[in-house]
């Protein structure tokens, strides 16, 4: 580390590269914090965690006892062990005793992306509440047709204030905070929608995962989805060029075919094609079908089971998905291909959605795996992903449901069925090395 600091001072190392190296080194040393403790007020399993996107200071949590709480992760409320352990008690908690509180488990709790004045909770009581943080009162309520599994708001949106809601109903609903009404619904899934995620590069693109095993991409300005991921559609690299000899053989073979056979091959199942391009003409059946409902593409599945978790990289180029088939898959968003990353075998929950997290540079993806949280590492520098487990966090006594990585504090927060919120902090590398340097200097002077 001191060599890198010297290179930075000498101008041999660029500032951004130096910062990225420091952050990656800190993330690589994450361990259960022995100086910070979040006192959980929940009496049920923690289902959702999120640190606000503006200040990076307030941690919002939602639990199965129908309670939601906010913690200040930067300023402690009390100290123990002679000031060595900082206790972070909740600033406020909302539970069933609240007159407008939820009646059943809170499955999703998210901050309003612009500021910390509002936060949104979705519950199994079929309601989505928009809360005023200062008054802890409900300012808006949306009645859904079934249990709310996941809610999401776009962090890059400037033209809309939409809440995407995934419920046990087959339709994805968009709730507009500006008008207090439903904007519209997205139809295409054949079973409940268990996970939703907005694109990190476009405010109009929404990604949804359903209990039918399908992952769909939507442009909310248009009808129907524009992409359905297929696990068999793999990215195998560039196709090699066709040799001239093969092209000649192909031409001679086509001449030997009869006119009837050529007509059958060109027309397929009777679809009219353009004589120049070979593509379906304007009056073909394929273009008359509703977008997103093309028979073969519409039934494509990304997992053999429910899609329990989705997470896009910060640049929006790749999507990581988790399924109840205990499989993790990395997708190229532009091509819609499965990148065939061979992730190590993990055990994932099958009964409820899980919340994934990524580091700021998307070098690590944190995945709740039963009682542990595994950090799946993949290298994006050379388009080669290892999929191997680089870190394993063990500290919860029961299943882990959610995790959130704070880029500002360089800390990982995890919540599980043991009702605890654990903090994973990097070890103080600079302080340790400084102590070692001082100890060496003292030894040298003593000689």
pLDDT tens-digit readout, 74-84? 999 999 888 88
Beta carbons of 342 and 329 less than 8 angstroms apart: no
Architecture of domain 29-143+397-437: 7 Propeller (2.130)
For residues 338 and 232, give the distance between their C-alpha atoms in angstroms, rounded to a whole number: 7
Torsion sign across C-alpha atoms 282, 283, 286, 288? positive
Mean pLDDT of the chain: 80
Q: Does domain 144-236+294-356 have CATH number 2.130.10.10?
A: yes
Q: What is the mean pLDDT of the segment spanning 336-362? A: 85
Is the predicted pLDDT of residue 383 greater than 90, yes or no?
A: no
Q: Which residue has the higher pLDDT, 358 or 175?
A: 175
Q: Which residue has the higher pLDDT, 158 or 2?
A: 158
| pLDDT for residue 29 | 83
- pLDDT tens-digit series, residues 293-332: 445 567 789 999 999 999 998 888 999 999 999 899 999 9
Closest CA to 426 of 447, 412, 445, 443: 412
Beta bridge partners of 118: 132
Q: What is the DSSP letter of 285?
A: H
Pairing of β 193-198 and β 68-72? unpaired
Q: Which residue has the higher pLDDT, 434 or 427?
A: 427
Is the predicted pLDDT of residue 446 greater than 90, yes or no?
A: no
Strand order in the sheet with 389-394: 357-358, 364-369, 372-377, 389-394
For residues 320 and 312, give the distance between their C-alpha atoms in angstroms, rounded to a whole number: 6
For residues 307 and 309, give the distance between their C-alpha atoms in angstroms, rounded to a whole number: 6
Q: What is the mean pLDDT of the segment spanning 31-51? A: 94
| pLDDT for residue 374 | 78
Residues of the chain with CATH 2.130.10.10: 29-143+397-437, 144-236+294-356
For residues 170 and 181, give the distance between their C-alpha atoms in angstroms, rounded to a whole number: 19
Q: What is the mean pLDDT of the segment spanning 408-415? A: 91
Backbone φ, ψ for residue 417 (5° rounding): -70, -10
- pLDDT tens-digit series, residues 161-191: 999 999 999 999 999 999 999 988 999 999 9
For residue 90, give every residue at least 6 positions away whose Cβ sits within 8 Å of its Cβ, in sequence order, or none. 39, 41, 69, 70, 71
| pLDDT for residue 377 | 57
Residue 248: other Cβ atoms inside 10 A: 10
For residues 154 and 209, give the distance between their C-alpha atoms in angstroms, rounded to a whole number: 16
Residue whose token pair is 């000899």: 245
pTM over 0.85: no
| pLDDT for residue 376 | 67
For residues 412 and 367, give the distance between their C-alpha atoms in angstroms, rounded to a whole number: 12
Torsion sign across C-alpha atoms 229, 230, 236, 241? negative
Beta carbons of 222 and 322 less than 8 angstroms apart: no
Pairing of β 400-406 and β 411-416? antiparallel
Closest CA to 138 of 99, 104, 169, 96: 99
| pLDDT for residue 9 | 66
| pLDDT for residue 273 | 41
Beta bridge partners of 310: 321
For residues 280 and 267, give the distance between their C-alpha atoms in angstroms, rounded to a whole number: 9
Max mean pLDDT among 250-259, 343-352, 353-362 falls in 353-362
Is the predicted pLDDT of residue 96 greater than 90, yes or no?
A: yes
For residues 146 and 24, give the distance between their C-alpha atoms in angstroms, rounded to a whole number: 42
Beta carbons of 73 and 61 less than 8 angstroms apart: no
Residue 284: both structure tokens together: 């073909």
Closest CA to 105 of 428, 341, 444, 417: 417
């Amino acid at each position: 580390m001191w060599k890198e600091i010297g290179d930075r001072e000498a101008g041999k190392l660029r500032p951004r590269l130096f910062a990225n190296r420091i952050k990656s080194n800190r993330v690589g040393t994450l361990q259960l914090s022995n100086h910070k403790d979040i006192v959980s007020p929940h009496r049920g399993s923690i289902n959702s965690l999120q640190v606000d996107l503006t200040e990076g200071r307030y941690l919002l949590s939602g639990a199965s006892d129908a309670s939601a709480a906010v913690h200040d992760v930067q300023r402690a409320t009390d100290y123990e062990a002679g000031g060595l352990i900082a206790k972070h008690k909740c600033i406020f908690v909302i539970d069933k005793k609240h007159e407008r509180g939820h009646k059943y488990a809170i499955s999703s709790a998210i901050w309003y992306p612009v500021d910390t004045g509002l936060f949104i909770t979705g519950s199994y009581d079929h309601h989505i509440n928009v809360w005023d943080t200062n008054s802890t009162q409900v300012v808006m309520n949306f009645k859904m047709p079934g249990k709310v599994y996941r809610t999401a708001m776009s962090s890059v949106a400037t033209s809309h204030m939409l809440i995407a809601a995934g419920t046990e109903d087959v339709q994805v609903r968009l709730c507009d905070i500006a008008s207090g009404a439903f904007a519209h619904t997205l139809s295409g899934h054949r079973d409940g929608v268990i996970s939703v995620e907005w694109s990190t590069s476009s405010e109009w693109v929404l990604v949804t995962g359903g209990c039918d095993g399908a992952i769909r991409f939507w442009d909310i300005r248009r009808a129907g989805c524009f992409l359905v991921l297929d696990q068999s559609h793999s990215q195998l690299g560039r196709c090699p060029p066709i040799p001239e000899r093969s092209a000649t053989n192909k031409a001679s073979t086509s001449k030997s075919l009869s006119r009837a056979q050529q007509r059958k091959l060109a027309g397929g199942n009777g679809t009219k094609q353009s004589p120049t391009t070979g593509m379906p003409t304007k009056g073909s059946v394929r273009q008359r079908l509703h977008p997103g409902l093309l028979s073969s593409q519409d039934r494509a599945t990304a997992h053999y089971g429910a899609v329990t978790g989705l997470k896009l990289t910060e640049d929006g180029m790749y999507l990581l998905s988790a399924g109840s088939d205990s499989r993790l898959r990395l997708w190229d968003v532009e091509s819609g291909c499965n990148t065939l990353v061979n992730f190590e075998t993990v055990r994932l929950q099958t009964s409820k959605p899980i919340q994934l997290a990524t580091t700021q540079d998307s070098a690590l993806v944190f995945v709740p795996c039963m009682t542990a949280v595994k950090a799946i590492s993949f290298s994006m520098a050379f388009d080669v992903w290892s999929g191997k487990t680089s870190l394993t966090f063990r500290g919860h006594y029961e299943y882990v449901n959610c995790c959130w990585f704070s880029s500002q504090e360089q800390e990982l927060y995890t919540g599980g069925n043991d009702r605890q919120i654990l903090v994973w902090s990097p070890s103080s590398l600079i302080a340790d090395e400084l102590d070692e340097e001082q100890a060496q200097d003292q030894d040298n002077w003593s000689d």
